[in-house]
């Protein structure tokens, strides 16, 4: 699987695009349903800190981990300007033991990470070990393998759409090859790690085929667009068509699991 690093500069250039605004806003709204204001949060692959800052502003104690110095610098600068106190650690998923020891967290996030990792099951197991026993939650996103043909089909790229039906790999909008996953496969990996899905959502249902550089509309149009995406991401059959799936899991047998 290719590394996100090869597409990092493109990612930075497109942070304000409609696609990214929709994705970040939907994940934020969805995770808000499951996080108490005083929670401890570990965000692995935190990047520029969009979700970490959102949670810190809600009163959470946020620890962000990412290998990119540039993205961590952006996170730190925005945190300083907005006043929330965050802990930032340079590192990757495999560095968590060395960086964090035995620490566990009320909420562990990994958004936009698993699709770049070869061993999904091991990654989920590592994340699950950081979740506070019984009461913690794990928030992860995966590229939706159930709807991999949707984007090329909506763009009338018919050969790519046909090929996507029998593939788990795709080239994303950063030009990086990554993996798509199906809900039942991820659920099995979560179960093996002692976690159970308590809720799941679709992310970017109606706006996945827009151009990568497309800017968001302004004012009321953006708000109603986001509200439509929010409703679609929570309801069948629409959520099955999201570009990504957002899963919330809890330790199996917990009060919320």
Q: Where are the domains of the chain?
A: 4-251
Q: What is the pLDDT of residues 187-212, one digit of tens each?
A: 999 999 999 999 999 999 999 999 99
The first and second tokens of residue 18, run together, are: 């409609």
Enclosing H/E stretch for 95: none
Query: What DSSP state is assigned to residue 145?
Result: G
Tell me, what's the pLDDT at 2? 56
Query: What sign has the CA pseudo-torsion 33, 37, 39, 44?
Result: positive
pLDDT at 3 over 80: no
Query: What DSSP state is assigned to residue 114?
Result: G
Nearest residue to 131 (alpha-carbon basis) of 33, 251, 39, 37: 251
Quick one: residue 156, left, alpha or beta (phi over 0 = left, psi -120 to 50 = alpha)?
left
The first and second tokens of residue 98, run together, are: 């060395």
Q: What is the pLDDT of residues 117-165, one digit of tens each?
A: 999 999 999 999 999 999 999 999 999 999 999 999 999 999 999 999 9
Domain 4-251: what homologous superfamily? Vaccinia Virus protein VP39 (3.40.50.150)
Q: What is the pLDDT of residues 155-197, one digit of tens each?
A: 999 999 999 999 999 999 999 999 999 999 999 999 999 999 9
How far, rounded to the nearest angstrom, does the alpha carbon of residue 130 sit from its chain's CA centroid? 17
pLDDT band at 257 (very low <50, low <70, confident <90, very high): low
């Amino acid at each position: 699987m290719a590394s996100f690093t090869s597409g990092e500069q493109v990612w930075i250039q497109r942070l304000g695009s409609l696609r990214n605004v929709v994705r970040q806003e939907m994940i934020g709204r969805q995770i808000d349903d499951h996080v108490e204001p005083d929670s401890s949060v570990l965000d692995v692959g935190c990047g520029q800190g969009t979700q970490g800052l959102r949670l810190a502003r809600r009163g959470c104690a946020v620890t962000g981990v990412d290998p990119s110095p540039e993205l961590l610098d952006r996170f730190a600068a925005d945190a300083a300007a907005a006043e929330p106190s965050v802990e930032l650690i340079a590192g990757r998923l495999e560095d968590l033991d060395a960086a964090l020891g035995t620490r566990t967290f009320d909420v562990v996030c990994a958004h936009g990470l698993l699709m770049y990792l070869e061993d999904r099951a091991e990654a989920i197991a590592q994340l699950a070990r950081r979740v506070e026993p019984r009461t913690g939650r794990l928030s992860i996103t995966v590229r939706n393998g159930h709807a991999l043909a949707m984007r090329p089909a909506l763009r009338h790229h018919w050969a790519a759409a046909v090929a996507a039906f029998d593939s788990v790999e795709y080239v994303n909008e950063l030009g990086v090859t990554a993996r798509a996953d199906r809900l039942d496969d991820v659920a099995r990996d979560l179960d093996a790690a002692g976690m159970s899905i308590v809720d799941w959502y679709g992310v970017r249902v109606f706006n996945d085929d827009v151009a990568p550089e497309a800017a968001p509309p302004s004012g009321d149009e953006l708000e109603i667009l986001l509200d439509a995406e929010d409703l679609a991401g929570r309801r069948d059959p629409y959520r099955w068509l999201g570009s990504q799936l957002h899963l919330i899991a809890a330790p199996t047998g917990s009060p919320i699991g």
